[in-house]
Amino acid sequence: MYILGLDIGYSNLKLACGRAGTTPRTEIQPAGAAPRSRLNVRLNIPCMDPIAQTGTDGVRVRIHGEEWVAGVHPGRIEHWGRPLHKDYPTTDSYRALFHAGLLACATRRIDALVTGLPTAQWLDEDYRAALKSSLEGVHKPDGEHAVEIVEATILPQPLGTFIDFLWGRQEENVVRHLKELCVAIIDAGYYSTDWSVITQGALRKALNGTSMKAMAMIFEGAARLIADDDGAEISERQIEEAVADGRPTCIGRQLKPISLTPYLTRAAQEIAPIAIDSVCADLRDADTAPQVVILTGGGADFFEQSARAAFPAARVVTANDRVIANARGYFFARSVA
């Protein structure tokens, strides 16, 4: 059985694919997607450090007969609105990234596709069914070759990370004592910070939430702080790309390299506590105190300090490979079925 775990985020497309029972191949691509005519021209400048290269021209896919590119940095796309709203799964950008995910598998038949929705959206049965139905069937991602998806499964997003956490036995005691524990999973994404709670080994359907205090706001805050200190006009998009590429600096005024870490840390100290406070308030209202807090998503590191302060009695852990953890957990969800 061929399985694809697909996590289409606002900042990255993450996938884990392969045969059931094997270690999946994983891939992360930037989540920029648009008609090909909107892609700017990239100069092919050799770079000393391959980790600092700014990506490729993406994957060519077809959407409604039109040629698109997917898997490029959003900064490569001009005059095109980036979809940042909760109906993201219904957009053409999402569909283009889905097609890029199918092409990355290089197979004609995917027996099981597993993806996720934020818990609140997942609870909406009509929304979930519509997404499932749109993913199943025969697709022509490049307009020529057919790829069949036999069955799609939609999971509450945080379960992806939690399944990966259990599979990898990141904390032995959590696996052993799962039935006795209350576990909060906080997914610090680009557009939103989503959280869910698992008690006695089961998802608490009524206990979840979303805060807009997420990485996009941290990038925005860092850009503002840099402008205040240095006068440099560095956009949040430039900071996002630097972080995604693993570049520790951006270029400021008079070509001065500006170290991003201090600014990101300061911005996170403003934004992350607000998101974590909203989790705390909801848990307090439900008279629930987590014994384990798992941080995941690209912003997990920026939320760790606030989570430790907010949950002093809990074991606070950052998920291994937190960017890919959801996709890999989706893969394992079907691999063990």
In a 13 Å sphere around the CA of 91, the CA atoms on its Cβ side amount to 19
Applying CB under 8 A, among 1, 92, 168, 171 the residue interacting with another protein is 168
Task: End-to-end CA distance of the chain: give it in Å, rounded.
Answer: 11
Q: Which two tokens stand for residue 182?
A: 């209350």
DSSP 8-state code for residue 41:
P
CA–CA–CA angle 303, 304, 310 (5° rounding): 90
Q: Does 176 bind another protein (CB under 8 A)?
A: yes
Binding mask 288-307 for another protein (x = CB under 8 A): ----------x-xx------
Report how many residues bind another protein under the rule CB under 8 A. Answer: 50
CB under 8 A: which stretch of 26-34, 125-133, 217-225, 228-236 binds another protein?
A: 26-34
Applying CB under 8 A, among 98, 162, 219, 311 the residue interacting with another protein is 162
**Closest to another protein by CB, 28 or 186:** 28
**Closest to another protein by CB, 139 or 160:** 160
User: For residue 60, how many other CB atoms are within 10 A of its CB?
Assistant: 18
CB under 8 A: which stretch of 51-59, 126-134, 218-226, 281-289 binds another protein?
A: 51-59
174 CB-near residues (< 8 Å, 6+ apart): 165, 166, 181, 183, 292
Q: Does 322 bind another protein (CB under 8 A)?
A: yes
DSSP string, 47-73: -S-GGG----S-EEEEETTEEEEEEE-
Strands 249-251 and 193-199: unpaired
Report in angstroms how near the CB of residue 228 gets to another protein at its nearest: 23
Q: Does 1 bind another protein (CB under 8 A)?
A: no
Report in angstroms how near the CB of residue 64 gets to another protein at its nearest: 29
